[in-house]
Amino acid sequence: MNVNMFGADDRVIDSSTEPAYVDLPAVEELPLPAEFVWGGATAAYQIEGAASEDGKGASIWDTFSHLEPSRTNGDNGDIACDHYHRVSQDIDLMASYGADVYRFSIAWTRIIPLGGRNDPINEAGIAFYNSLIDQLLARNIEPVATLYHWDAPQAIYDRYRAFLDTEEFQADFKHYARLCFSRFGDRVKKWITFNEPYIISVFGHHSGVLAPGRNSTSNGGDSRTEPWRVGHTIILSHAAAVEIYKREFLPSQSGTISIVLNGHFYEPWDATSKVHRDAAQRRLEFYIGWFGDPVFLGQDYPAVMRTHLGDRLPSFTREQLEWLRELAPMNSFYGMNHYSTKFARALSEPPAEDDCTGNVEEGSVNKEGQVIGPISGMAWLRVAPHGFRKLLNWVWIRYRLPIIITENGCPCPGESQMTLDQAVDDQFRIRYFGLYLDAISRAIYDDGIKIEGYYAWSLMDNFEWSAGFGPRYGITHVDYKTLVRTPKKSAFYLKNTFEGRRNLRP
């Protein structure tokens, strides 16, 4: 799940004096290709629970969510949605929604409790994911597996600070990836290596609001250099996993592999000013190009990053760049997590020593006082389908890869305070989904972009990281006391809209 960045906050919104969603344009229910697929997305720590059952080891999120004072709104993922014990029920729900695919993540510490290449393998954890995969396939739901969704083994963090030691982390990640490919790859045909490396790098090692919580004022961190070191490790570890899949598993398994990048779209705070237009482009390159250019193009980091960051940004060796260039075509798709659009304003004063934005401030209001779009249940998440379409174009023009929307969704305003009957009547979310699907249709048929699928965030309400159990993004309501699941109207809207849109002629 994407969390907020600079220039806004993570507040859950209960009410607002701003224009309500009724001021949004009507959903047109525009067509989508017959082969277009849809499903729900989740992450292991956010839904599984069973934090120490059947041999599972501790992750950095098990540690982070138990810190005192709490960094996660007093909540943790020890039980979460108890998906570990309710897999069959949750797959039945997916099937009732008509889902074609299910994107889930594998908890590294459930299958290698201590995480390292020389550490014992936990067969009970492997059995859990084998059962999940087999049950999905029995219901004609395609499994899409993410290897890493933010939950590094605590043991490898204790040993060498995980991502901060590129060589050690890369070796352990290769072992973990190889184990997953060998045990699950006969049935899993779509792999994602890392979810949102930007968030891992910046939120985990700059602001420190996510595990492992490193920054310059706590946990021994260095916000000036560590985010870039972490990003460098992720890129090289991703490439190593791609190479393993290409050489050892692709011939027999015939699957696909890539990475998922998150990102807002950025409009200039003042569209008449080249300074602010440049700032919007710079923000996109700092956010998306940081990882996209080395991974998908086999190129060095964007030149604007080198200019602004200097020796804070690590360098690839000539051999590494050749290696990245060789592996770039093996990335079969662009995984896009997207929620909202922001305005980018160039700052006139010199950047802070630990700046990681390209000296850009982002926000929801432009120079003219115009808001980018109506507010959702989170302060930072605005409904702006026009920005979504622009981002699809930006990514397509830059990387020319088929795009899969691997996360997209929102909480309704005030949803966390609603009764069950109110929460399941989630008309705001339905309108959001409809408008963003219309944007996809326009991008496909008017702009010529290849977009292959849409994974709604999320299949169910869950533990939303530093926000705990506050915001509800699910198409399924979860009562966190009883763990009872109740479908929301948006689940059946998605079922019906995809059935209808895929039968329309463009």
Instruction: Note whether 177 and 108 are within 8 A (CB).
Output: no
Q: What is the Cα–Cα distance from 375 to 377, expressed in whole angstroms?
A: 7
H or E segment at 128?
A: helix 123-138
| β pairing state of 451-457 and 101-105 | unpaired
452: burial class by Cβ within 10 Å (0-12, 13-18, 19+)?
A: middle
Instruction: Note whether 344 and 268 are within 8 A (CB).
Output: yes
Give the strands of the sheet with 341-346, arranged side by side: 265-268, 341-346, 360-363
Q: What is the Cα–Cα distance from 88 to 135, expressed in whole angstroms?
A: 7
Instruction: Note whether 267 and 345 are within 8 A (CB).
Output: no
- Going 369 to 374 to 379 to 381, the CA torsion angle's sign is negative
Instruction: Note whether 360 and 346 are within 8 A (CB).
Output: yes
Q: What is the Cα–Cα distance from 226 to 269, expressed in whole angstroms?
A: 29
Residue 475: closest CA among 62, 16, 96: 96
Q: Tell me how far CA of residue 104 lies from CA of 36, 113, 116, 201, 255, in angstroms.
A: 19, 19, 22, 21, 16
Instruction: Note whether 173 and 223 are within 8 A (CB).
Output: no
Residue 201 main-chain phi, psi, to 5 deg:
-75, -50
Angle, vertex CA 229, rays to CA 264 and CA 355, nearest 5? 55
Residues with catalytic roles: 196, 407
Mapping DSSP to helix (H, G, I), strand (E, B) and coil, where does residue 232 land?
A: helix
**Peptide bond connecting 16 to the previous residue in cis, omega within 30 degrees of 0:** no
Q: Tell me how far CA of residue 480 lies from CA of 410, 416, 426, in angstroms.
A: 19, 12, 18
